Amino acid sequence: MSPSVYMTGLSMGLGLIVAIGAQNAFVLRQGLKREHVLPVVLACALSDALLIALGVTSLAQVIALMPWLEPAMRYGGAAFLLWYALRSLRSAMTSTDALKVDNGIGTPLKATLATCLALTWLNPHVWLDTVVLLGSIATQFSGERLAFALGATSASFLFFFGLGYGARYLSPLFAQPLAWRILDGLIAVIMGSIAARLVLGG
C-alpha cells in the first residue's frame, strides 16, 4: 500500500468533510449535549466508509446511467433539510434551554440515529463528495485504490470523532440559553441554504 496515495486520500477526505454542513452541525450539537456521541460519530464515519467504498468501486458510473436518480436525491434531500431548518429556527426563536449534561433527559437513541442517518443518506452533497468526487479521483490511482479509500475513510473517522468529542470543551459557553439559540439559528441558516442550493441546482 502506497503511503503517498493513502495521504492523498486522507487530505482529500479532510478537505471535503471539514466544510460546515448539515451532518457536521448535527454532530456538533450532539457533542455539545454529550448525548449519544459514540453512536452518532460511528454512524457518520461508517456511512462515509460505505459511500467511499461505493464510489471507489464505481457507483458513480451507475448514477451516470440512471439520470433520474440525481434529481430524486436532490429534491428529497432538500425537503428533509428544509424541515430540519424550520425545526431549528423554531428552537432558535422559542427555546429557553441551557446545556445540562447530567439531567438524564434527551432524545431517544433510535430517534437520534434516524435523524443522523437521514442527514447523511438523504443529502446529495454527501453522495457527490464521497461517491462521485472521491470515486472519480480514485480512478487516477490504478492498483492503489484501496490505499486511497483507506485514507479518505480515515479522514472521516478522525474528523467525526474529533468533532463529536471535542465539542464538549465548548460546554461552558452553552450553559447559557442564548448560546443554544444562536447555534440553532446558525444550523437553520446552514441547512436552509443547502436546501435552497439543491433546489436551484447549485
| Residues 104-155 pLDDT 10s | 457 899 999 999 999 889 887 788 778 777 777 777 777 788 898 999 999 9
pTM higher than 0.75? no
- Backbone φ, ψ for residue 184 (5° rounding): -60, -35
HSE on the CB side for 168, CA within 13 Å? 10
Residue 196, C-beta contacts closer than 8 angstroms, at least 6 positions apart: 78, 202
pLDDT reported for residue 161 = 95
Of 198, 59, 186, the closest CA to residue 133 belongs to 59
Q: What is the pLDDT of residue 20?
A: 59
The predicted pLDDT at position 36 comes to: 93
106 close to 33: Cβ distance less than 8 angstroms: yes
d(CA 31, CA 38): 9
Burial 116-150 (b: 16+ CB within 10 A, else e): bebbbebbbbbbbbbbbebbebbeebeebbbbbbb
- Structure confidence at residue 97 (pLDDT): 58
- Low-confidence stretches of the chain (pLDDT < 70) are 16, 18-20, 59-60, 62-63, 69-70, 73-74, 77, 95-105, 174-175, 194, 201-202
